[in-house]
Amino acid sequence: MIISKRLAAGLCGLAATLATALFPAAAPAAADDGPETAPEPPKVELVLDVSGSMRANDIDGRSRMSAAKQAFNEVIDAVPDEVLLGIRTLGANYPGKDKKVGCTDTEALYPVGTVDRTEAKTAVATLAPTGWTPIGPALQAAGKDLAGGDGTRRIVLITDGEDTCQPLDPCEVARELAAEGTHLVVDTLGLVPNTKIREQLSCIAEATGGTYTAVDHADQLSDRIKQLVDRSADNVVVTPTVTQGADRCDDAPLLGAGVYSDREAFTEHRWYRVSVTDGQELRASVSVGADRAVNRDYGVLVRAVTSGGRELVRGSEASSGRTDVISSGLRYAWPERDDSDAATARTVCIEVSNSFSAPDAVKRTPGLPLELSVDLVSSPDEPSDVASFGLGRGWWLLALMVVTGLVAGVLWGWISRWRVAVWRTN
């Protein structure tokens, strides 16, 4: 027993010595000077049309209202814990013919906040198609529901019809919300493939930098709403810088690291320039939005080429279905030179192309919304704290455990053989 206790103490001392000598970085880090300010949680409000037309049975053989309820229940189950979610209705209460009254029919069904899933589902279950379609007033009220704070804010509007409360134009309401400069985005989902409805919903989304999606099936509605709610949780508030690409690299704007917005016509090629120094890695991604009715089968291509026209790297993405945004990206590390102390800056040309097309009746101007993200990452002078396989600082602990286990195993084997030899001698 005495030998075992001494052995355990010796092994613990050995492990501590190895940890200090071999892995000083594994020691606990000193406390920060002060607590970091936690980012404000994102806010999302789902605005649902509960007008009388939602009784129609044309979504997978079910009523539009039934499909919307199912989608909302699935979204409520899946909403991330960090997202503050609310639900607002329009046309849910007044069944009469008085337009003045019908156009005030919007209410907060579930207030924006931490989600109690049972309460939220119970509230959704009470809904029945009833009245008018006051989209403009509902958007105004939703903007107030989400007011305050610096976190991301998103309205997801689900409707099957045009606003019936003109002259309050919902597109103008969206522009007013965007002009407030509060990073409020409105995404729209249309349940009826009607040209006028599509134009109005596209206009609302475009005014705030949001997206429009035409929905034909219940599962598509659920998936799209969940995607937008998840996007709000991942989104960092960044206001893109407006730029204008050129039709050739020599005339293209010179961009630094940042996020940029532009417009690109159907099948157009637009060029931008970036200055990259030796040892830097260029990372670029581009997204092109389908903010109007487009034909199936389309894609986006982004290329990095030298000023002399030699292609360095490319990225592409294609789709054969209806989606509101298609994205692609690239990465290229410029080799670091050993024959010069001074880093040499080189111009890299970035070409963005798309293969969208549309029926003749669809307007071509303005071009499709384009967002380009550029990042320049320098080669670090010191090894990164983030190790392989995403272990981060845990890599040091893993290495310590491996070395300590190896040494302890050798010592234990040696001591066991010594004890057997002593027992045989006695």
pLDDT digits (tens, 9 = 90+) for 15-39: 444 444 444 444 444 445 445 566 7
**Domain boundary at 169, 204, 234, which?**
234
The pLDDT assigned to 202 comes to: 87
| 385 within a domain of the structure (yes/no) | no
Asked whether residue 287 falls in the same domain as residue 314, the answer is yes
- 324: Cβ–Cβ under 8 A, 6 or more apart, which residues? 211, 212, 213, 289, 290, 291
Per-residue pLDDT tens over the stretch 236-277:
556 688 999 999 999 999 999 888 999 999 999 999 999 998
Asked whether residue 195 falls in the same domain as residue 47, the answer is yes
Q: What are the Cα distances from residue 189, in Å, to 192, 224, 295?
A: 9, 9, 18
The pLDDT of residue 352 is above 80 = yes
Number of domains in the chain: 2
Asked whether residue 256 falls in the same domain as residue 366, the answer is yes
| 103 within a domain of the structure (yes/no) | yes
| 425 within a domain of the structure (yes/no) | no
Asked whether residue 178 falls in the same domain as residue 65, the answer is yes
Give the Cβ contact number of residue 293 at 10 Å: 18
Banded pLDDT at 9 (limits 50, 70, 90): very low
Lowest mean pLDDT among 80-94, 175-189, 379-393: 379-393
* CATH number reported for the structural domain that contains residue 48 in this entry: 3.40.50.410
| 88 within a domain of the structure (yes/no) | yes
The pLDDT of residue 348 is above 70 = yes
Asked whether residue 208 falls in the same domain as residue 315, the answer is no
Per-residue pLDDT tens over the stretch 296-331:
888 999 999 998 899 999 999 887 765 567 888 888
Q: According to the 3-state scheme, what is the secondary structure of the chain? A: CHHHHHHHHHHHHHHHHHHHHHCHHHCCCCCCCCCCCCCCCCEEEEEEECEHHHHCEEECCEEHHHHHHHHHHHHHHHCCCCCEEEEEEECCCCCCCCHHHHCCCEEEEEEEECCCHHHHHHHHHCCCCCECCCHHHHHHHHHHHCCCCCCCEEEEEEECCCCCCCCCCHHHHHHHHHHCCCCEEEEEEECCCCHHHHHHHHHHHHHHCCCEEECCCHHHHHHHHHHHHHHHHHCCCCCCEECCCECCHHHCCEECCEEEEEEECCCCEEEEEEEEECCEEEEEEEEEECCCCCCCCEEEEEEEEECCCCEEEEEEEEECCCCCEEEEEEEEECCCCCCCCCCCEEEEEEEEEECCCCCCCCCCCCCEEEEEEEEEEECCCCCCCCCHHHCCCHHHHHHHHHHHHHHHHHHHHHHHHHHHHHHHHC
Asked whether residue 372 falls in the same domain as residue 273, the answer is yes
Asked whether residue 224 falls in the same domain as residue 368, the answer is no
Asked whether residue 75 falls in the same domain as residue 112, the answer is yes
For tokens 């979204």, the residue is 75
The pLDDT assigned to 397 comes to: 53
**Domain boundary at 234, 260, 294, which?**
234
| 73 within a domain of the structure (yes/no) | yes
Asked whether residue 105 falls in the same domain as residue 77, the answer is yes
* CATH number reported for the structural domain that contains residue 260 in this entry: 2.60.120.380
Asked whether residue 264 falls in the same domain as residue 211, the answer is no
Asked whether residue 210 falls in the same domain as residue 290, the answer is no
| 284 within a domain of the structure (yes/no) | yes
- The range of the structural domain enclosing residue 335 comes to 241-378
Between these two residues, 151 and 11, which has the higher pLDDT value? 151
Does the pTM surpass 0.75? The reply is no
The answer to whether 185 touches 154, Cβ cutoff 8 Å, is yes
The pLDDT assigned to 303 comes to: 95
Q: Considering just the CA atoms, what is the radius of gyration of the chain in Å? A: 30
Asked whether residue 162 falls in the same domain as residue 250, the answer is no
Per-residue pLDDT tens over the stretch 370-424:
999 998 886 444 333 333 333 334 444 556 666 676 777 667 777 766 766 666 6
| 7 within a domain of the structure (yes/no) | no
| 286 within a domain of the structure (yes/no) | yes
The pLDDT assigned to 342 comes to: 54
**Domain boundary at 234, 267, 282, which?**
234
